[in-house]
Structure 1
């Protein structure tokens, strides 16, 4: 283990596999998922970060079905063709000595197409399309689609999946009264509203077996009116442990929230306090996130016990060698992300490839 940043560089034992350090490359949509020859380029992109030393990579969001796609034609994992495409990525990452999980992302009412669905037909303030309210039969199909998606991801060679349950996407929409006004077993009481995420995880675990990583990205603070309370978040976290989650990742804020979470003026590690509060009640490893962009900040966060791992995404656009440089005492050579969002997030909204200035 490196003598530099000892908490950050300490391996994490998950029982059936070991991560070489406590650094997660968080999910980002690259734009390569939908372009001709994109999977070969994705393979090179992620393999470079694996060689750069990151402990675990999570891909950009991949939908389990057409209605959940971020936009019409966005990436899915629903067929053997998809398996073959993604195998190119996993083989490259494994050859580079890395581990990689695929994020399963159902956009729900955030999907930018006319076939979007949601627990209730309540339009998102950031989307021109009003969603269709899913029937109970459609809910069951969606859960099966999540399980099938995870099964195909395993077949494609992924080491695990991350189930996106935060940022105001489909699963998150079931959890809060803000977007779930149902009167059946999927709505009403909090026990009913958390039924959907728990059933998704339960069926995913059944589909993939035990020796496969399941990360659940839990919305720890919604930053919108009528969102989850901290006791509710903790209750869901405990329930997720029982149905088979290996790691819980931190989600901060819905996309429609008006409170900044990732821009330059947000203080470093500004939201790790909420991860720390949730972590006290959980037994599985917990990842924290948002505005952690130097090894010094990450080391402090882990040393004080706020989390078991840290997630960074944009810093790996700025410098694929981030981890190796930190581990070898060359942190001053890291090309640091300043949180400007100009060539990453802005490019995503402009349907351009993600990059870095």
Structure 2
């Protein structure tokens, strides 16, 4: 019997069979080109994590509506067919390393920066996505329909580009979240008010996406299960909202928090490994569907326990795979003592990208692109 039998068992969801239960979570990098294209170094970054044994790689959020919905200084895009060839190159190379690949598609809504998009951001209402943020304008019903269609068309492009699944981002203060959360949504029409009405935009996105990709292409929904802010959706609230969305979703990626509770979303270092697995467990118990648990999961023993106890079906790792691209291979081969461990400092990953608009870096991994390239550079400089 393997030491981590559950962690390294395969799982099949519709037409996708994943070799193990390790999922790389989508994290912005600022590695994209100035026009939203996927570049060679960007591919190499993901290729390292595929070579390292990761089962499912969920590529960072791609813009479905440019420039209005863009997020990040050099965000990748899926709003036009011209982005398909480079993304096909990405999926082809990751598939050759044995990984399954999904991509997260997203609209920033009120989280878009006015100076970057050259316009006032849009949202469910005129409420900023964070304290001190830009005031957005409420979307009209016609605009809501059009944006939902843009999500669906982006999902179809992802399917053509060779992705095995698509993830809809419905958390973390982005547009779908801005409709779901009572903190942002004060509409009085059919897209606001009751939980069913607040879920209507997300439902529209899901239904239009299924129309585009068909019934056998897995759809992942990333959500803030508990917004961890007074007046926001609690875990119980979210479980109720998901009743209106569940039948269109194949995997729930269970995150938490909003912009004003960011220290829970991008976990502070003092939070213990797997601290929010109870949220994934609650979603799994209610809907009996595959779920991804996350939250400072660095210790393989904690990861195995979460799976063995039935709390989740995948272990979502973000910053841990920036720090250690070979996490899966090292753990499976009994080399845990050689793991380069994430310290949750948030300096090079979150700080560089969000605070400084730079490409991401890592305090414990000097080379995110070629893994050991820095060693050769050191020798040449002696």
TM-score between both structures, scaled by the size of structure 1: 0.95
CA contact (8 A) 1:219 1:250 kept: yes
CA contact (8 A) 2:110 2:121 kept: yes
| Residues 73 and 321 of structure 1, relative CA distance in 2, 3 Å threshold | closer
Cα distance between partner residues in 1 of 2:134 and 2:224: 24
Residue deviations 1:182-205 (CA, integer Å, cap 9, x gap): 111111111111111111111111
- Find the counterpart in structure 2 of residue 93 from structure 1: 94
| Residues 209 and 258 of structure 1, relative CA distance in 2, 3 Å threshold | closer
Structure 1 position 94, deviation (Å):
1.4
Cα distance between partner residues in 1 of 2:344 and 2:51: 24
- Find the counterpart in structure 2 of residue 252 from structure 1: 256
- Find the counterpart in structure 2 of residue 59 from structure 1: 59
Aligned-pair RMSD on alpha carbons? 1.8
- Find the counterpart in structure 2 of residue 175 from structure 1: 180
Structure 1 position 38, deviation (Å):
4.9
Structure 1 position 333, deviation (Å):
1.0
Structure 1 position 209, deviation (Å):
1.0
Secondary structure of 1:34's aligned partner = coil
Extract unaligned runs of 5+ from structure 2: 364-382
Moved more, 307-316 or 8-17: 8-17
Moved more, 276-285 or 259-268: 259-268
Structure 1 position 281, deviation (Å):
0.5
Structure 1 position 236, deviation (Å):
2.8
Cα distance between partner residues in 1 of 2:182 and 2:360: 34
- Find the counterpart in structure 2 of residue 219 from structure 1: 224
- Find the counterpart in structure 2 of residue 353 from structure 1: 359
**Partner of residue 321 from structure 1, selected from 323, 326, 331:** 326
**Partner of residue 299 from structure 2, selected from 294, 300, 307:** 294
Structure 1 position 122, deviation (Å):
1.0
Structure 1 position 270, deviation (Å):
1.1
Cα distance between partner residues in 2 of 1:31 and 1:74: 6
**Does the alignment pair 1:310 with 2:315?**
yes
Cα distance between partner residues in 2 of 1:251 and 1:295: 19
Cα distance between partner residues in 2 of 1:337 and 1:236: 34
Cα distance between partner residues in 1 of 2:16 and 2:59: 19
| Residues 92 and 334 of structure 1, relative CA distance in 2, 3 Å threshold | same
**Does the alignment pair 1:158 with 2:157?**
no
- Find the counterpart in structure 2 of residue 8 from structure 1: 7
Structure 1 position 258, deviation (Å):
6.3
Secondary structure of 1:141's aligned partner = helix
- Find the counterpart in structure 1 of residue 200 from structure 2: 195
- Find the counterpart in structure 1 of residue 70 from structure 2: 69
| Residues 230 and 319 of structure 1, relative CA distance in 2, 3 Å threshold | closer
- Find the counterpart in structure 2 of residue 26 from structure 1: 25
**Does the alignment pair 1:284 with 2:283?**
no
Structure 1 position 220, deviation (Å):
0.8
Structure 1 position 71, deviation (Å):
4.4
Cα distance between partner residues in 2 of 1:258 and 1:245: 26
Structure 1 consecutive aligned stretches of length 4 or more whose deviation exceeds 6 Å:
none
TM-score between both structures, scaled by the size of structure 2: 0.89
Structure 1 position 231, deviation (Å):
3.0
| Residues 128 and 189 of structure 1, relative CA distance in 2, 3 Å threshold | closer
Residue deviations 1:145-183 (CA, integer Å, cap 9, x gap): 100110111111111111000112110110122111111
Residue deviations 1:301-329 (CA, integer Å, cap 9, x gap): 11222111110011111111100011111
| Residues 93 and 82 of structure 1, relative CA distance in 2, 3 Å threshold | same
Cα distance between partner residues in 2 of 1:195 and 1:352: 36
CA contact (8 A) 1:20 1:55 kept: yes
Extract unaligned runs of 5+ from structure 1: none
